[in-house]
Amino acid sequence: MSGYSKIAAHYREVIRNGDLKPGDPMPSYSAAVAEHQVNRTTVIRAYDVLKSEGLIVSQPGKGTVVASSPLVVTGADRVNRMSQNGRQYAPGETSTGHRVMRRSVYDPEVCQALQLEPGDEVVIRIRAFRQDDRATTVGVSIYPTRTVAEVPELADEGRMSGGFFGTLYTERTGREVVRGQRTAEARQASQDELAALEIDAPPHVSVAVMVTKVTYHDEQGPLAHWEDVYAPGTRLPLPE
């Protein structure tokens, strides 16, 4: 990785993790030169990359600051952020509308992902994430009964306060939780998803949304299936 790309990657991660929040000043060119032991041109090129990505902006009288609309991360990336700095939420981010329900599952894709038979019971947790009071994402996490048996907090109403389910699961079972391959697809949003994302569209109008999916496993099989549904216009980082 070249010098300016490495510096851009450093600040991209700092912004993504919330260590620099929207409106915070970026280090001056001189400070960045001293920190990274490079020349001024290299720092300028790195900052230009971040500006082109919409992560930072120049403001008269303030210099270069973190942009007001940072990237929205997936649920899986949120777990990575928690492991690095303990922050479940980015600056300006919160979650609302937490719902927990026990249901029989019939969706073929979910049944296949969790290796369940149609009609098997699962616990479903749903919440809407908001950035600067704008709904950006609907998060849906689905757990088979064997996961809930080890982490019964998953069936409790409201926001889960014990952290990532995988951390609790590993502490109680000694088995490592492994994240599977994340996938993304575009599809038509359901009316429930549109309501959660606060999108006012007539029933006959199709609204396209991006959806990311991932399944977590241990040595005995699938433990959870997560889906994140993103509002139109939401920007999310893709894996490097």
Contacts of 227 (CB under 8 A, 6+ apart): 139, 140, 141, 142, 211, 212, 213
Give me the pLDDT at residue 239, please: 61
pLDDT at position 77 is 72
- How far is C-alpha 73 from the chain's CA centre? 3
Domains of the chain: 3-66 (1.10.10.10), 75-230 (3.40.1410.10)
- Alpha carbon 100 to its chain centroid, in Å, reads 19
Nearest to 137 by CA among 218, 69, 231: 231
Helix (H) / strand (E) element for 24: namely: none
Give me the DSSP letters along 185-223: EEEEPPHHHHHHTT----TTS--EEEEEEEEEEETTEEE
Ordered mean pLDDT values, 10 residues apiece, the chain (240 residues) = 84 83 90 94 94 89 82 70 68 86 96 97 94 88 97 90 83 94 92 91 88 94 95 75
Are residues 109 and 54 in contact, defined by beta-carbon separation less than 8 angstroms? no
